Chains A and B, each alone.
Chain A
Amino acid sequence: MSETMMPLWEVFIRNRSGLPHKHAGSVHAPDAAMALQAARDVYTRRGESVSVWVVPSSAITASDPADKDELFEPTGTKVYRHPTFYEVPEEVGHM
């Protein structure tokens, strides 16, 4: 009795704060226009949002968890990318 599945869309919202769009959740909708409306109705009920993106869930390519070590571990040792790696005398003040 299972009926045809309504496609799944991922919803991204940008708030007034000016930060980038952030994943908020997902909705089911037959097409992009309806997905956008559903996203607005479901994920912006309490205001602040100024922009919504919807993306077909099937269009997202995700990294494989099995590749986690080779993708993300190597950056762990590159401490020179962080400001605290460098010493500046206290008298110089905040930098």
Chain B
Amino acid sequence: MSSTTAALQSRRAPARKAKAGGRTSRPAAGKADAASSPLFSYVVSLADDALVLGHRLSEWTGYAPTLEEDIALPNLALDLIGQARFFYAYAGEIEGKGRDEDALAYLRDEHGFSNVLLAEQPNGDFAATMLRQLLYAAFMHPYFQALTASKDARLAEIAAKAVKEMAYHVRHSAEWVIRLGDGTEESRRRAAAALDELWMYTGELFEMGEGERALVGAGVAVDRESIRPAWDATINRVLAEATLERPAPCGMQSGGRAGRHTEYLGRMLAEMQVLHRAHPGVTW
């Protein structure tokens, strides 16, 4: 790690220049795809999902409903931030321009982030946080399971570690969703409302762009549509036990993969990146 941090100073300059150039050419749907290789874009999107959701979870630290949960939530956040770091490091190597994990996490604007909209949704109440986690983890668990068979050895390796983490995320969030759904009248109302609010962001989990499709064809990425049966099974099982009704099919929101986000991401990144950007090029 120390070698990475030591190298930051020399690596920062080109990264900033590239970004400043990119900023003038808005709007940028698919900008990342155009600017770099499909593999790079794909790996960055995996990292962005993990970082953005991990950051959201980290916002809970110290404010959870029980002391036990105040310790559980950072565990979830640390898993995701850890995954993000592996993916960013790999993306930086693929790109070969000297960008490290921090250059990718801290020096891209919201339009450059390609995470799904679900990940950036605000924490809301505890029901919203647990439902967001369930909807995400119920997808990522089988997804990483499939990714362990990737022809890209690095991705397979990261997935092998992440799959165990996501299994626990499913379990933890599912147990809570069950308790909140089948708890008190108030908790049920809150859980149902959160589910209703978040549902329109679930369609994007299954979307793939041109680049990613090509990677699926090459045996590197996983066909997101193939995850649907597993996701449906988990969601249906948990919602049934939680006595919550699965929302009716609705118009799905989309755009995160192309850098078109909800209003929430910009603010989140402004906070996350403020200190790093206030002191360009230094070591932390």
Contacts and interface: CB of A to CB of B under 8 A. Distances in A.
Interface in B61-104: 66-68, 71-72, 75
B75 A45 contact: yes
Contact of B68 (A28, A33, A45): A28
A11 to B, nearest CB: 11
A57 B141 CA distance: 34
B165 interface: no
A55 interface: no
B164 to A, nearest CB: 13
B175 interface: yes
B188 to A, nearest CB: 16
Given A6-B66, A29-B68, A41-B68, A34 B75 contact: no
Interface in A27-69: 27-30, 33-34, 37-38, 41-42, 45
A41 B57 CA distance: 15
Q: Is the interface of B mostly helix, strand, loop or mixed?
A: helix
Contacts of B171: 37
Q: Count chain A CB atoms within 10 A of each CB in B66, B68, B175 and give the residue with the most.
A: B68
B179 interface: yes
B186 to A, nearest CB: 14
B172 interface: yes
Contacts of B75: 41, 45
Contact of B71 (A29, A34, A42): A42
Given A37-B72, A38-B72, A45-B75, A28 B175 contact: no
Given A42-B71, A45-B75, A37 B66 contact: no
Contacts of A38: 68, 71-72
Nearest to A30: B179
B71 A37 contact: no
A33 B67 CA distance: 17
B175 A37 contact: yes
Interface string B204-236: 000000000000000000000000000000000
12 contacts: A27-B68, A28-B66, A28-B67, A34-B68, A37-B171, A37-B172, A37-B175, A38-B68, A41-B71, A41-B72, A41-B75, A45-B75
Given A41-B71, A45-B75, 14 more contacts: A6-B66, A27-B68, A28-B67, A33-B175, A34-B68, A34-B175, A37-B72, A37-B175, A38-B68, A38-B71, A38-B72, A41-B72, A41-B75, A45-B71
